[in-house]
Structure 1
């Protein structure tokens, strides 16, 4: 199956489904850092880390206790008081739906185009594992340190990532694919009911192009299926052609898109 730039830009109009709603709520929960604040149904994430999803406003519910303008203002002030620029994550399920248009009128620009992709694990068929490669579990602290260092994160950003994983209400499980004790690729799996989200999928630069990420994900998908997981999901930038080609080849399909609003 080929994947071109035009394929990454095109996505079908969103149609609400129970699966999409559950995945959105699971991913918001998985991104929740210790430093967060609930505001009339919105989750205001205030992590000092690098991941945008953990330092952004997640407008998942709107209880109507505050007017929308007042709610936006309060969320902005809380971010600024914490030393962070206001950043809103906008998905098709953000509430209220008119929030995105209001932010545009307030001068917020749209940034980053992400795709949430999903795969029913009933469609995953076991494959023979490549010889010489070993899948090993490791602590989330160690994964955050190793992957953060390889990505050039600062010590404070690595600590923020470690703290978020330690405090997460969603269980995270970290894995490394090795050959003769040498770490080649990493990934994390966050489990929520019958859903498994894949995060921090990372291959060491010197080993890229060898099919290691595919091998790692195939083993983790098979593992997830044995644990009663029915649907896998992940989030990826639309412009990341290489990653999206891999995920498409594994059977993942676009479920919905989201973006950020910042000024």
Structure 2
């Protein structure tokens, strides 16, 4: 893998910071430049993980992991690292020695909104009713009912301007998206189409509507996270014009655990 340049690190740090603001964890703690994010009400790994943010910060790994383990245990979460290019390679090497599992490879992709024509995209007014959006999201994603309260709290904790988009077929939700407008950036989350509605263009339409809303509100660059093996989503994002910026993945102790599919 090629060595990251200073420009690459600056860009990655910017997207990582935007991601933390756009999808806030319930509790955030710092151990040096390791950011520990924990959320009792939602099991997503990105809300329950250690995020190292400095390639030079790998001192006292054993002791710091031990401290973090106690915090994750208190929340009932599996001890999890989320490793972007900002993480020191020494951390991965140490986890390799311990036999930790590698999982959840994802891409961060970006799109220059100044270079895309969205004139033909549907103008859609975002929902103001969070309950209605959460209800639609549970149906579209197939989330369990127990995730309702946690998802609602996460959305309610987002501080930047947020657009909640639901595309319906009749009276039933077919696709969803969240767009978080943060200065000149627009982060996209919870993009999905209900399985029985896939292949009919709903995902593309809701995505373009969210991008148009962001563009009209002054955002210059859109970004999103997608699992690297989600071929259908990648085809859509590439077709719209998104390009990969960097990758990240998760590491967990090598023990049987229940996995979620949230990046």
Q: TM-score, normalised by structure 1?
A: 0.84
Matches within 5 A, 1:116-131: 116-129=108-121
Work out whether 1:71 is the aligned partner of 2:64: yes
Q: Residue 218 of structure 2: which of 228, 235, 240 is its match?
A: 228
Q: Deviations over 1:24-48 (max 9, x none)?
A: 2211332332233333332222223
1:154 Cα deviation from its structure 2 partner:
2.8
Work out whether 1:51 is the aligned partner of 2:51: no
Give the conservation status (yes or no) of the 8 Å contact 1:176–1:186: yes
Q: Residue 135 of structure 2: which of 136, 145, 159 is its match?
A: 145
Pairwise CA RMSD: 2.5
Distance 1:249 1:166, change over 3 A: same
Specify the SS of the correspondent of 2:30.
strand
CA distance in 1, matches of 2:32, 2:118: 45
Work out whether 1:23 is the aligned partner of 2:12: no
CA distance in 2, matches of 1:117, 1:187: 16
1:53 Cα deviation from its structure 2 partner:
0.5
Give the conservation status (yes or no) of the 8 Å contact 1:124–1:221: no
Q: Deviations over 1:202-224 (max 9, x none)?
A: 21222211112112212221221
CA distance in 1, matches of 2:226, 2:140: 19
Specify the SS of the correspondent of 1:137.
coil
Q: Deviations over 1:120-152 (max 9, x none)?
A: 11121124246xxx7342234432232124433
Q: Residue 242 of structure 1: which of 208, 216, 232 is its match?
A: 232
Give the conservation status (yes or no) of the 8 Å contact 1:135–1:178: no
Specify the SS of the correspondent of 1:187.
strand
Give the conservation status (yes or no) of the 8 Å contact 1:117–1:233: yes
Matches within 5 A, 1:48-197: 48=40, 49-61=42-54, 67-94=60-87, 96-129=88-121, 135-138=124-127, 139-178=129-168, 181-197=171-187
Specify the SS of the correspondent of 2:126.
strand
Per the alignment, residue 3 of structure 1 pairs with none
Q: Deviations over 1:138-180 (max 9, x none)?
A: 2344322321244332333221111112123444321112355
1:63 Cα deviation from its structure 2 partner:
9.5
Give the conservation status (yes or no) of the 8 Å contact 1:30–1:169: yes
Specify the SS of the correspondent of 2:76.
coil
Specify the SS of the correspondent of 2:199.
coil
Residue correspondences, number:
249
**Structure 1, unaligned stretches of length 5 or more?**
1-10
**Structure 2, unaligned stretches of length 5 or more?**
254-263
Distance 1:104 1:32, change over 3 A: farther
Distance 1:63 1:255, change over 3 A: closer
CA distance in 2, matches of 1:78, 1:219: 40
1:81 Cα deviation from its structure 2 partner:
2.3
